Chain A
Amino acid sequence: MAATLRYRPLNLARWVIWGTTALIMAVLPIFFTQGFAITLMSQMGVAIIFTLSYNMLLGQSGMLSFGHAVYSGLGAYFAVHALNMASKGQLWVPVSLLPLVGGLAGAVFGVLFGYVTTKRAGTTFAMITLGIGELVFSCSLMFPDFFGGEGGVTTNRVFGKPFLGVTFGPAVQVYYLIAFWCLVSMALMYAWAHTPLGRMANAVRDNPERAEFVGYDTQKVRWYTLIISAFFAGIAGALGVINFEIVTAENVSAVRSGGVLLAAFIGGVGFFFGPIIGACVFVYFVVALSDHTKAWLLYLGMFFMLMVMFAPGGIASLIMMQVQLVARQRFGRIWRHYLAAGASSLLVLAAVILTVEMTYKVSVDSSGGTLMKLFGVEFDAAAAGPWAVAIGLWIVGGWLFNVTRKRVSQVYGEIQAEFQQGRP
C-alpha cells in the first residue's frame, strides 16, 4: 500500500480571508456600541447561518425548499424548552452550548421529514416542502402545550452562576456568542462543500441522471445534505432563542421560509459568500426599513423581482463580474456608464417611493389628514402637485434609465467580446 502523494501548499489567501472575517466580527462592537447596532449585528449573525444552511439546499444541491423554517423553528422550540428546563435545574445545558440542542433537534426532524421530501427533486420537492411547512405550522396551533399557542414560549437566558464573569445578560456578550457560532458554522459549511458529499450534491444538482449512472443514489445524497442543512438551521434557531428569549409559531411559518429564500436569492446562490451578503441586506431591510415605512415588504418584494428578472445570480454575481473587469483592467472604461445608470435609477427609485408612499397616505392613513413628510419635504398627498412630480420623475427617470442601461450593456458586451478574442 503506497501512501498517496499529497501536495498541499499553504493556502495563504484562505487564511487571510477567514482571519479578516474573524477580526472584523471581533472588533465591530467596539466601533458600533449603540444597542441598536448590536442587536442588528446579532440578528445578521443568526441570519447568516440560516441563509447559508438554506443555500446548501438551493445553491449547492438544487433543491428549492419552501419550508426551511420548519427546521430552524423546531430547533428553536426544543432549545427554548431545554433552556427553561436548565434554569429549573432539570437538565444540564450551558447557554453557550444551547445551539447544539437546537441543531440536533433540527437534524432529527431533517431525518424524519427529509426522508419524505427528498424522494423527489425539482418542482415536486418544492411542493412537498410547502406541504410539510404548512403541516407543521398548523400543528403548532394544535399543540399549545409544546408550541405555546398564540403567545409563544418565553424564556430567560440568564440563570445560574456566571462562568468567568459571563452571564449573557448584556447584549454584547450575546453578540460574541452568536459571532463565535456564526464563524464556526460558516467554516464548517464551507468545508462541507469540499467534502465528497458536497461534491456529489453539486453533481446531483447539475445532472442527476449521470450521478445515478456513476453509482450514487441521488435520493440519499439529497437526504444527507438536507439533514446537515437542517442541523445548521437548528443552530440558527437556537441562537435566535438566546437573542430574543421568545419563540412563537411565526418561527415555523411560511413567512420565515419565504424570507430565507428571498435572502439567499438576493445575495446570490451561486457563490459561497452570496447568502452572507443576502442575509445582511435582508436583515437590514427588515430592521432598518421597517422603522421608516409600512410598505417595506413591498420594496423588498420589488427588489427581489428585479433580481429574479435581471440578475438571477444575485448580488454576488454582480460583484464577481466587476472583479473580472478590475482584474483585467477594463473597469476604467465602464465606471462612468455605471455612474450614469446609477444616477438615473435613483430617479426611478424616487418615483417609486413617492408613488407608493402617497398612495398609502391617501388610501389607508388619511385619518390624520393627508399632509406627509418625505425626504425632509412636507406636502399634501391629496394635492395634484406632488402627483405631477411623481409622474414627471417616472417619465424622465424611466427614459434616462433606459438610455443609460443600454449604454452599460453595450460597453459591457464590447469588453466581453474582447475577452472572447483572447486579448489580455
Chain B
Amino acid sequence: MSLLNGVSYGLLLFMLSSGLTLIFSMMGVLNFAHASFYMVGAYVAYSIGLKVGFFPALFVAPVVVGLLGALVERYGLRTVHRWGHVAELLFTFGLAYLIEESVKVVWGLAAVPYRVPEALNGPLFTLYSTSFPKLRGFMMLVALLMLFAVWLLLKRTRIGLVIQAALTHPHTAEALGHNVPRVFMLVFGGGCALAGLAGVIGGVAFITEPSMAASVGPIVFVVAVVGGMGSLAGAFLASLLIGVMQTFAIALDWSLAGMLGSIGVAVTESTPLYSLWKLQISQVAPVLPYLLLVLMLIFRPKGLLGTRAD
C-alpha cells in the first residue's frame, strides 16, 4: 500500500519534473518558477472549477498556464537571454517571487477550499483493510497518459522532430527555415502547461495555498538533477525513486539508537550526541532527497541517465 502511494506521489513529481526537464534540455534554462506555475495551475483550476466544475477545469487550467508561460518566454525570458544563463536563472528566480506574491494578493494568504470532486471521492479498492483513494488512482492515470502523450509528440510527430532538431542543432534548424525562437516559446509554454496540469491534480490531492510552490519546488529540482538534467526517462525513474523513498521513510520509526540497542549496545540520554542517535527515519525523511542530491552531485554529477555534467 505504501508502495502504491509512493508510486502515485512519484508520478505527480514526474508530471512536474518532466516539464522542467523538457525546458532545460531545450533552452538550457533552469526554470526556478516551475513550481510556481504548478501553483498557478491549482489556483486557476480552483477558480474555474467553482464555475464549471472539476473536469472542464482539468483541461482549461493547463491551457491558461501554458499561455501564461508562453507570454513570459516571449516578453521576459527572450529579453534576458542576451545577458546569458545566469541572468536567465535570476529572471526565473525573480519570477517565482513575483508569482507567489501575486497569488497572495489575488487569492489571499490562507489555503483555498479546493475540494475533491464527488466522482473521485471515496476508495478505489480496499486491500488488507487499508483503502486506496480513487483520486490517487486518477492521478496515476493522468500522469501515465501524459507521459504517453509527450512521448508520442516528441518521437512520432513532425513538430516533435523539429523540437528535437532545435534541441541539438539550433542553428541548423534555423537555417532550414524553422522558427527556433517560436519553438522555444512553444516548449516553454508546453512545459508550463504540464506543470499546470500537475497543479490541477496536486491542488486537490494536497492543499492549495501560497506556500505550495516553495514546498514542492526544491524536490522537483532534486528529481531533475538526480534523474539527469535533460533526460525524460531519468526524470521518470528519479520521480518514482524519490516518491517511494519519501512515502516509505515517513512510515518507518527505526533509529540508530534502536539499531544499536538490538545488537546489544545500550544508548541512553547520557550518551554523547544522543539527539543524533535517537532520530527516527520518519524524522529524517524531509532531508533524504537533499542528501541524495548532494551525494549524486558528488559521485555522479550527470545524474542517473543524464548525458552531460554541466
Contact = CB atoms under 8 A, between A and B. Distances in A.
Contacts of B164: none
Nearest to B106: A363
Nearest to B86: A64
Contacts of A295: 101, 104-105
Interface string B280-302: 00011011001101100110010
B207 to A, nearest CB: 18
B126 interface: no
A143 B297 contact: no
A305 B214 CA distance: 19
A360 B105 contact: yes
A318 interface: no
Interface stretch (A124-132, A227-235, A329-337): A124-132
Contacts of A363: 105-108
Interface string A279-301: 00000000000000011011011
B290 A135 contact: yes
B297 A120 contact: yes
Interface string B80-96: 10010111011101110
Contact residues on B (Cβ < 8 Å of other chain), bracket: 35 or more
Contact of B102 (A131, A298, A300): A298
Given A295-B101, A363-B108, A364-B108, A308 B290 contact: no
A350 interface: no
A142 interface: yes
A135 B287 CA distance: 6
A324 interface: no
Interface string A337-381: 000000000000000000010011001100000000000000000
A298 B96 CA distance: 11
Interface stretch (B147-155, B173-181, B218-226, B235-243): B218-226
A116 B101 contact: no
Interface string A232-274: 0000000000000000000000100010011001000000000
B44 to A, nearest CB: 14
A309 interface: yes
B87 A116 contact: no
Contacts of A298: 98, 101-102, 104-105
A364 B109 contact: yes
Interface in B264-310: 275-276, 279, 283-284, 286-287, 290-291, 293-294, 297-298, 301, 309-310
B26 interface: no
Contacts of A297: 97, 101
A143 B101 contact: no
A134 B101 contact: no
A122 B222 contact: no
B123 interface: no
B85 A122 contact: yes
Contacts of B218: 130-131, 134, 254
A130 B105 CA distance: 27
Contacts, number: 126
A119 interface: yes
Contact of A124 (B101, B109, B297): B297
Given A123-B85, A135-B294, A265 B225 contact: no
A123 B309 CA distance: 10
A146 to B, nearest CB: 8
B96 to A, nearest CB: 9
Contacts of A131: 218, 221-222, 225, 290, 293-294, 297
Contact of B94 (A62, A128, A301, A356): A301
Contacts of B109: 364
A265 B91 CA distance: 11
B109 to A, nearest CB: 7
Interface string B183-218: 000000000000000000000000000000010001
B105 A120 contact: no
Contact of A64 (B79, B89, B286, B297): B89
B30 interface: yes
B98 A301 contact: yes
B306 to A, nearest CB: 11
A305 B95 contact: yes
Interface string A299-321: 01110110011101000000000
B105 A359 contact: yes
A139 B101 CA distance: 27
A138 interface: yes
B117 interface: no
B94 A141 contact: no
Nearest to B286: A138
A359 B108 CA distance: 10
Interface in A139-187: 139, 141-146
Contacts of B286: 138, 141
Interface string B107-125: 1110000000000000000
A361 to B, nearest CB: 10
Contacts of A254: 214, 218
B242 to A, nearest CB: 13
Contacts of B261: none
Contacts of A62: 86
B56 interface: no
A155 B240 CA distance: 45
A309 B86 contact: no
A128 B283 CA distance: 22
Contacts of A302: 98
B76 interface: yes
Closest 6 CB pairs of A and B: A298-B101, A301-B97, A135-B290, A131-B293, A364-B108, A301-B98
Interface of B: 30, 76, 79-80, 83, 85-87, 89-91, 93-95, 97-98, 101-102, 104-109, 214, 218, 221-222, 225, 275-276, 279, 283-284, 286-287, 290-291, 293-294, 297-298, 301, 309-310
25 contacts: A66-B93, A116-B297, A119-B298, A123-B85, A126-B30, A126-B89, A127-B221, A127-B293, A135-B287, A138-B286, A139-B287, A145-B275, A254-B214, A254-B218, A262-B97, A265-B90, A295-B105, A297-B101, A298-B104, A301-B101, A308-B90, A309-B79, A359-B106, A360-B105, A363-B107
Given A144-B275, A308-B94, A364-B104, 13 more contacts: A64-B89, A119-B298, A124-B301, A127-B30, A145-B275, A146-B275, A254-B214, A298-B105, A301-B98, A305-B76, A308-B80, A363-B107, A364-B108
